Homo-oligomer: A and B are copies of this chain.
Amino acid sequence: MYSREREELFINLNPLQTAGRTRASVRKAVTRYVDGYSVCDACAGILHDITKPPIKSLVDDLAEFLNVDVARTTAGAREAKFMVMHSECSPGDILVLDSNAHYSTYVAATRAGLEVVEAPAGPPPFFHITAAAYAETLEQVKTRTGKPAALALLTHVDGDYGNLTDAAAVAQACHEAGTPLLLNTAYTTGRMPVDVRAIGADYVACSCHKSWGACGPIGVVGAIGERAEHLFRLDARYPKKNIELLGCTARGSNIMSLMEALPLVKERVKHWDEELENARWFAARMEAIGKGGIKLLGDNPTNHDLMRFATPLLHEIGQGQRKKGYYLHKELTDRGITGLKPGQTQWFKMSTYGLTRSQVEYLAQAFEEIASM
């Protein structure tokens, strides 16, 4: 089970955790603002306008960092996605998304009453999402319904394969089809540089407990131009209150932890090339260890720290072990490595985010030992 102590002693490979680890200053902010309405003392009616603590500066910084016109905090990326769908579409409208999209994207679409049409991923082992697939799907929707799809969503990097899709090309296809684009960056912003305006997306959703090292649940939603005005429209009766944000969202510890995390995030995205180099080095080593019995799925070479390996070799080894499939988890635990699902040996997902090169080398060595059992 999770504990901070264990987290700090072990090398954790769980892709949900690696970029969500909090730094000491973030944890300090969490403790200081732990009582529910702690940031509301100086509120004159708008959470995101509070200057003490500097929440207004935070949301301005977020907009600048993402390069959008307006950014606001949310309870998470899924809430950001629902917000955009609910604001941009009406029940019965069509949402075009990539078939690698996270389940929460589908559930948000169900909640918003949308019909989902998938831009299909390419064949295994790459499962690539392309702008051509979006263009074709958007065209099919137009032919069938006589109008553009109400909204498109692209999972910038997906959680199954860690594939990085050419978001700018997808944005262009969407604009040519007359459909706005929401970019789900749960696995990108906070880890790697993302310029939403340069990409040409209209909306962005971020997960700050997944990829920004903040205490969650907390996310960010951003929008550009008139889309921002509409998304953040105000209530007629309470003209200070955002309708889609229900007035205000993340308060207290969560938003204060993001305030502390943001400077660290701004710095760390500059070192994305090192993260990528680590991941690629590790993946190449794993494939070499396996001699065909360990295979990286998705982009190869990978473009992200989240990697999915097909591991028939490790599965086969398990057949001869007393603990069967559970041997892998045990062997890793014995070596101070955690985060893989117990019993899973045919494939697994993992992330090298935040590990030093020597930790990654140690990791490769561990798998090497296990592969030769």
A interface residue numbers (CB < 8 A to B): 1-4, 7, 14, 16-17, 20-22, 26-27, 30-42, 52-53, 75, 78-79, 82, 86, 103-104, 106-108, 110-111, 208-210, 214-217, 235-238, 241-244, 246-247, 249-254, 257
Contacts and interface: CB of A to CB of B under 8 A. Distances in A.
B241 A107 contact: yes
A22 B33 CA distance: 10
| Copies of this polypeptide in the complex | 2
A120 to B, nearest CB: 15
Chain B CB count within 10 A is highest, among A52, A249, A253, for: A253
Given A30-B30, A217-B252, A78 B22 contact: no
A35 B17 contact: yes
A247 B104 contact: yes
A23 to B, nearest CB: 10
Contacts of A32: 3-4
Contact of A30 (B38, B107, B108, B253): B253
Chain B CB count within 10 A is highest, among A14, A34, A110, A237, for: A34
Given A42-B1, A79-B246, A103-B247, A37 B52 contact: no
7 contacts: A1-B53, A2-B38, A2-B41, A26-B34, A103-B241, A106-B238, A217-B251
A80 B299 CA distance: 40
A35 B4 contact: yes
